[in-house]
């Protein structure tokens, strides 16, 4: 696996900052009532999306979850197009017809945020099957939460990926809660990773707040898949900065010292400190990146607000391909 270069580190920090700023901004504007619908924020889990997607190209596919903004940004989706989509505008990535929960960008290999928990698994199997069928070196990455691990698709899909030796990497974002239900309550197995033993594929649990831990584990898994050595699973233990959805009072949080300690951690700041310490970029560069990120997100909001709503005719189009 390639070492994290200075250039890559800057790119990583840009993406992590973008995700954090994008989600913080959405948190504020949602509270102001400017955007319709449900919003599930990714803040706090940046190390996972960026740590994984840093190894991917536009030809690789990812499937996402209802908490998908981070995956989109990490996979290279345009901030303006995303923000306009969340505002339900014509200029959105999906012409305003998908919204926060269905942002997709097939050109970037992003197969869509997904409102149905666990439905991304088989899509990734399909994408992996496609890569294998067409004999490409591309991989499919399936992001899923700790809640999705208890859906039937988890088992069916991992089993199929395993028997067909598909180039699929399953990335579990164990952010401690499935909606309001803690993982220790809803899973019989202590970790998600250990379940892979049943399907005879590698499974590993890493500190999901630690960018480098995710980056390195994902790098290995993705390389393995590209080489045709089959699927694997990484459980990234992380924590959700905000509630399940915006408006969630989160009274279920802070149940143990261990959880509180995890909550205190900031994966973006940790990576910033790490990179500066490792001289991957300077404090000055970091500040510049942070300022640009703030400005980019601000511009995205302006763009979204100024964009027109979809034309009424759009209601009827895009049901079928002609």
* Sites of contact with another protein (CB under 8 A): 61, 63, 92-98, 102, 104-107, 111-112, 114-116, 119, 121-130, 133-134, 140, 152-153, 156-157, 159-160, 163-164, 317-322
- Chain centre to alpha carbon of residue 22: 13
Judge whether 168 and 225 are in contact, CB under 8 Å: yes
Nearer to another protein, 96 or 243 (CB): 96
Nearer to another protein, 102 or 253 (CB): 102
Smallest gap from Cβ 310 to another protein, in A, equals 9
Smallest gap from Cβ 315 to another protein, in A, equals 10
Smallest gap from Cβ 311 to another protein, in A, equals 13
Nearer to another protein, 113 or 206 (CB): 113
- Chain centre to alpha carbon of residue 62: 9
Nearer to another protein, 105 or 267 (CB): 105
Cα distance between residue 141 and residue 168, in whole Å: 6
Judge whether 67 and 102 are in contact, CB under 8 Å: no
Smallest gap from Cβ 7 to another protein, in A, equals 30
Which tokens belong to 36? 């319709």
Smallest gap from Cβ 134 to another protein, in A, equals 8
Nearer to another protein, 17 or 196 (CB): 196
Give Cα separations from 7 to 12, 275, 292 (angstroms).
9, 11, 16
Those residues whose C-beta lies under 8 Å from the C-beta of residue 104, and which sit 6 or more positions away, are 93, 94, 98, 110, 111, 112, 113
């Amino acid at each position: 696996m390639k070492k994290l270069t200075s250039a890559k580190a800057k790119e990583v920090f840009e993406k992590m900052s973008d995700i954090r700023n994008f989600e913080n901004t959405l948190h504020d504007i949602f509270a102001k009532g400017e955007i319709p619908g449900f919003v599930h924020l990714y803040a706090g889990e940046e190390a996972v999306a960026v740590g994984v997607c840093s190894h991917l190209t536009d030809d690789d596919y990812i499937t996402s979850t209802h908490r998908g903004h981070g995956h989109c940004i990490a996979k290279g989706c345009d901030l303006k197009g995303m923000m306009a989509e969340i505002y339900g505008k014509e200029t959105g990535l999906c012409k305003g017809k998908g919204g926060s929960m269905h942002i997709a960008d097939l050109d970037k290999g992003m197969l869509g945020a997904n409102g149905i928990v666990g439905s991304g698994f088989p899509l990734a199997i399909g994408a992996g099957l496609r890569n294998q069928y067409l004999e490409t070196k591309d991989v499919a990455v399936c992001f899923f939460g700790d809640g999705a691990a208890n859906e039937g698709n988890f088992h069916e899909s991992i089993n199929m990926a395993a028997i067909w030796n598909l180039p699929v990497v399953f990335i579990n974002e164990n952010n401690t809660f499935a909606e309001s239900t803690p993982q220790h309550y809803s899973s019989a197995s202590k970790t998600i990773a250990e379940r892979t033993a049943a399907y005879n594929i590698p499974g590993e649990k890493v500190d999901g707040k630690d960018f480098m831990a995710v980056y390195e584990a994902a790098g290995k898994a993705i390389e393995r898949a590209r080489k045709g050595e089959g699927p694997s699973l990484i459980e990234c233990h992380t924590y959700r900065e905000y509630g399940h959805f915006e408006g969630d009072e989160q009274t279920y949080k802070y149940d143990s010292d261990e959880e509180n300690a995890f909550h205190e951690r900031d994966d973006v700041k940790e990576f910033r400190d790490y990179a500066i310490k490792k001289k991957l970029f300077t404090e000055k560069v970091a500040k510049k990146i942070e300022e640009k990120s703030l400005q980019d997100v601000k511009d995205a909001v302006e763009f979204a607000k100024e964009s027109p709503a979809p034309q009424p005719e759009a209601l009827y189009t895009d049901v079928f391909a002609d």
